[in-house]
Amino acid sequence: MSTNAKWIIGLLVVIVIGLGVGLVIASGDDSDDDDGTTTPGTVTQTVAPPAPTETTTTDTTTSGTTTQTETGPDDGGGGVEVP
């Protein structure tokens, strides 16, 4: 076996051992440490419907008198004269 192959196998063994030790440490942690911070659980937010608003409408219709005047000579057509 060559020297390079021995080095590669040795490095792989060290990496596997390091990962195994890290896994043991992580699985041994009981995670009930109190460091003063809390993480929220489910947050429920209720949004109130908009308040009803009162609307007023104003009628802007105007009534007026229309006057029509006739100019020119009277042709005697017997029409109705508009004041």
Confirm whether 3 is domain-assigned: yes
pLDDT in tens, 6-35: 999 999 999 999 999 999 988 887 766 666
Query: At residue 60, does pLDDT exceed 70?
Result: no
Mean pLDDT for the chain? 77
The count of domains in the chain is: 1
Residue 64's pLDDT is 63
- Cα–Cα nearest to 23, from 15, 13, 32: 15
Confirm whether 9 is domain-assigned: yes
- CA separation for the pair 13, 8 (Å, rounded): 9
Sign of CA dihedral 68, 69, 75, 78: positive
Residue 61's pLDDT is 66
Confirm whether 36 is domain-assigned: no
Can you list the alpha helix ranges (DSSP code H) found in 3-76?
Answer: 3-28
**Would you mind telling me the total number of residues written for the chain in this entry?**
83
